[in-house]
């Protein structure tokens, strides 16, 4: 199958040839003809399979061939995304695919001044990519109108709900014209999203080119058990021992991101970071530096999981497992893209066994465990089973007392107090209180 056989017009085919797009991916071959016919669509595909082109190409073609010129403050196609990074990525795709078409594309999102966005929208925009919060701000100020809207695209709608955009989405949906084409594209679809699709879409075509919520087969996955307090130490050890090149690292908290970045910089490793507290220009600059190979390690929270498209990224490391199991699929989907292979390593502590079980239940596969000799955890990660089950450790039998025998030493018999100066001190930290030597005379006292 070729792109020409899908019914795309010559300017788009010329662009695809320039970009060396030779054969449509499965999601593209099924989605493009349906969108061109005006069908509503619900498509699930693994990240990295070309789903953006699956909706961008036919939307651009329909806007070129149908409808009047865009009016002031109006938009003809609206793409909603959960994050600023993904909005920028989708915008770049529209600009690239539409370079030979007489159409305008623009993106609006928070974290930057709203005034330039309002000025740009005065002339009207054919394709507007937006995050829900900023779009709603613009709508409330009459800076954007939807009277000419033909197509609505929800990209990663599940993530939008995870980030708490449900109320904003409801208000936006009520402002959109009822007669429109609606497309849902995502790597995963929760039951809540399927319910929302049932309310928004009319007789949709369902396209599912891979098992629901599956991780890409092109990504080799495993985990290394480690104590929580030694995660950063283990990562730095592996970075040097394995001589890693470019690595994308995901941490759970903004504080964790900043701490690892500082440790890397102190070692002389080129590193940068992105998280929600950083201004948008700083986040975009960090992404561009990483894409250009100027930075070896990029540390991020899940804000970047669905907004990164990097050629030949070999490795993703989960310093912490995500709270939401579906975010794991999106994290590791940053590698092994477009036919390449990749690796995803998770550093897992005992506290994360429930998240681990949820991930294995979602992907229906157990992650292989590989011990790192010098980092065997004191608190072992409980074993898990397919189906999200945590296998509890068997209880130790209680010791029976024999009449006349000495009481066995156990918990609560001797209180040694705090051994270390800080709660997160390592075992080699200086002892605050010495362990008493049992059987010897206390100095200056009685036996």
* Bridge pairing between strands 342-348 and 41-44: unpaired
Domain locations in the chain as residue ranges: 4-208, 219-390
CA dist 109 and 111 (Å) reads: 7
Q: pLDDT tens-digit profile of 194-230?
A: 888 888 888 888 887 754 445 556 788 999 999 999 9
Q: What values do phi and psi take at 49, rounded to 5?
A: -100, 5
Domains 4-208 and 219-390 share a fold: yes
- CATH top class, domain 219-390: alpha beta
Q: pLDDT tens-digit profile of 370-417?
A: 999 999 999 999 999 876 678 765 444 455 455 555 554 444 443 333
Give Dmax over CA atoms of the chain in angstroms. Answer: 101
CA dist 307 and 275 (Å) reads: 12
Instruction: State both tokens at 293.
Output: 């190979």
CA dist 275 and 250 (Å) reads: 10
**Residue 273 burial (CB < 10 Å; 0-12/13-18/19+)?**
buried
- CATH top class, domain 4-208: alpha beta
CA dist 149 and 263 (Å) reads: 49
Q: What are the distances in angstroms from CA 143 to CA 112, 130, 138, 152?
A: 16, 13, 5, 18
Instruction: State both tokens at 111.
Output: 């974290």
Assign 364 to helix, strand or coil. Answer: coil
CA dist 120 and 115 (Å) reads: 9
**pLDDT tens track of the chain, all 447 residues?**
889 999 999 999 999 999 888 889 888 999 999 999 999 998 886 666 788 999 999 999 999 998 789 999 999 999 999 888 889 989 999 999 999 999 999 999 998 999 999 999 999 999 999 999 999 999 999 999 999 999 999 988 777 776 677 888 889 999 999 999 999 877 667 777 788 888 888 888 888 775 444 555 678 899 999 999 999 999 999 999 999 988 999 998 889 999 999 999 999 999 999 887 887 788 888 888 888 889 999 999 887 555 566 666 889 999 999 988 878 887 887 776 555 678 999 999 999 999 999 999 888 889 999 999 999 999 999 999 876 678 765 444 455 455 555 554 444 443 333 333 333 334 444 444 444 443 444 444 444
Name every residue whose Cβ is closer than 8 Å to that of residue 193 and which is 6 or more positions away in sequence. 157, 158, 161, 184, 186
């Amino acid at each position: 199958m070729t792109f020409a056989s899908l019914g795309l017009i010559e300017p788009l085919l010329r662009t695809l040839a320039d970009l060396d797009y030779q054969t449509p991916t499965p999601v593209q071959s099924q989605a493009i003809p349906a969108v061109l016919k005006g069908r509503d669509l619900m498509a699930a595909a693994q990240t990295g399979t070309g789903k953006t082109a699956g909706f961008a190409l036919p939307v651009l073609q329909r806007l070129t061939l149908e409808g009047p010129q865009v009016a002031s403050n109006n938009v003809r196609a609206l793409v909603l995304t959960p994050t600023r990074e993904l909005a920028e990525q989708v915008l770049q795709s529209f600009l690239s695919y539409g370079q030979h078409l007489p159409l305008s594309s623009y993106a609006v999102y928070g974290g930057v001044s709203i005034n330039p966005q309002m000025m740009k929208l005065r002339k009207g925009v054919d394709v507007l990519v937006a995050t829900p919060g900023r779009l709603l701000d613009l709508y409330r100020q009459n800076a954007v109108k939807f009277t000419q809207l033909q197509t609505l695209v929800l990209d990663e709608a599940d993530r939008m709900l995870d980030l708490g955009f449900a109320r904003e989405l409801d208000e936006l949906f009520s402002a959109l014209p009822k007669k429109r084409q609606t497309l849902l594209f995502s790597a995963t679809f929760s039951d809540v999203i399927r319910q929302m699709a049932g309310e928004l879409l009319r007789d949709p075509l369902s396209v599912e080119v891979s098992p629901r919520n599956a991780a890409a087969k092109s990504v080799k996955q495993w985990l290394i058990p480690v104590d929580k307090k030694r995660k950063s130490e283990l990562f730095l050890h592996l970075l040097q021992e394995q001589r890693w090149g470019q690595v994308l690292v995901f941490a759970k908290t903004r504080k964790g991101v900043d701490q690892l970045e500082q440790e890397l910089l102190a070692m002389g490793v080129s590193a940068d970071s992105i998280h929600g507290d950083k201004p948008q220009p700083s986040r975009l600059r960090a992404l561009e530096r990483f894409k250009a190979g100027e930075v070896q390690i990029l540390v991020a929270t899940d804000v970047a999981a669905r907004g990164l498209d990097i050629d030949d990224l070999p490795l993703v490391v989960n310093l912490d497992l995500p709270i939401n199991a579906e975010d794991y699929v999106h994290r590791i989907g940053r590698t092994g893209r477009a036919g390449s292979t990749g690796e995803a390593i998770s550093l897992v502590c005992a506290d994360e066994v429930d998240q681990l079980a949820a991930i294995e239940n979602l992907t229906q596969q157990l992650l292989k465990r590989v011990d790192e000799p010098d980092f065997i955890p004191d608190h072992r990660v409980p074993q898990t089973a397919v189906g999200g089950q945590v296998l509890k450790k068997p209880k130790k039998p209680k010791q029976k007392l024999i009449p006349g025998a000495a009481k066995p030493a156990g918990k609560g018999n001797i209180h040694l107090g705090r051994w270390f100066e800080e709660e997160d001190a390592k075992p080699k930290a200086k002892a605050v209180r010495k362990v008493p030597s049992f059987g010897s005379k206390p100095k200056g006292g009685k036996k």
